């Protein structure tokens, strides 16, 4: 049986690595978390990733830190939540400290601008890849597909409040769960 200290160290090291080498913000980090904790280690399920992702986006604060806390808690309790959050955020804090210190020299560096442009160009494929992999688990029933489509269109082409979209989706989800909306796949 695995010792809790070993699991905590593994969570910290994995989250540190994810925080250090994953670019593109929360969504691309989730793809890496899924790979590490669902596919490789089997410490979480895809359903948990999707549930925690939904919760993390709904809570105040930085979505990916919320996600790391939920995930860490699922894998190792309160200590796991703390270790995951620190492990994920520490590389960014160190990088910000270094960049802040050297900001004047880096601000106008053409090579730094080109490197960042290259990194930005791979962010969207990483995010889309995570979406495609989670699609079968996240979308169960016709109402979920309709809700995804309508939410995507509203969020993309209007200035409608994203928070209100989430609240409406929550209400629809509750209605489907309570059986008040028919969600047959036939």
- Closest by CA to 72, choosing from 43, 41, 29, 40, is 43
Give me the number of domains the chain comprises: 1
Average pLDDT taken over every residue of the chain: 85
| d(C-alpha 81, C-alpha 69), whole Å | 4
Q: Which of 131, 112, 116, 171 is nearest to 147 (CA)?
A: 171
What's the pLDDT at 186? 38
83 domain-assigned: yes
- Could you report the per-residue pLDDT of 133-180, keeping only the tens digit for each? 888 877 777 778 888 899 999 999 999 998 899 888 888 878 877 765
Cα gap 94→74, rounded to integer Å: 27
Residue-level pLDDT at 69: 94
Q: Are 17 and 91 in contact (CB under 8 A)?
A: no
Q: Is residue 173 part of a domain?
A: no
Q: The pTM is what?
A: 0.59
Q: How many CA atoms lie within 13 A of 50 on its CB side?
A: 14
pLDDT at 127: 82
Answer whether residue 179 is part of any domain.
no
Task: Say if 53 falls within a structural domain.
Answer: yes
CA distance 53 to 131: 12
Tens of pLDDT, residues 2-24: 677 799 999 999 999 998 887 76
Mean pLDDT, residues 75-81: 95
Could you tell me the residue range of the domain that residue 14 belongs to? 4-116
pLDDT for the residue numbered 25: 67
pLDDT of residue 82: 96
Of the candidates 144, 142, 119, 146, the residue with the CA atom closest to the CA atom of residue 134: 144
Query: Would residue 157 count as lying in a domain?
Result: no
Select the more confidently predicted residue: 39 or 115: 39
């Amino acid at each position: 049986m695995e010792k809790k200290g070993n699991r905590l160290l593994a969570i910290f090291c994995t989250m540190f690595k994810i925080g250090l080498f994953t670019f593109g913000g929360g969504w691309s980090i989730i793809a890496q978390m899924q790979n590490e904790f669902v596919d490789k280690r089997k410490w979480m399920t895809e359903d948990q990733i999707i549930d925690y992702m939904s919760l993390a986006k709904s809570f105040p604060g930085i979505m990916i830190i919320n996600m790391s806390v939920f995930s860490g808690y699922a894998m190792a309790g309160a200590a796991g939540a703390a270790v995951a959050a620190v492990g994920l955020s520490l590389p960014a804090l160190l990088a910000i400290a270094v960049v802040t210190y050297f900001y004047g020299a880096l601000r106008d560096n053409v090579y730094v601008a080109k490197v960042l442009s290259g990194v930005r160009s791979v962010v969207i494929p990483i995010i889309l890849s995570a979406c495609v992999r989670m699609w079968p688990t996240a979308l169960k029933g016709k109402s979920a597909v309709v809700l995804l489509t309508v939410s995507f269109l509203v969020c993309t082409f209007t200035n409608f409040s994203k928070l209100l979209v989430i609240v409406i989706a929550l209400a629809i989800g509750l209605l489907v769960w309570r059986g008040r909306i028919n969600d047959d796949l036939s």
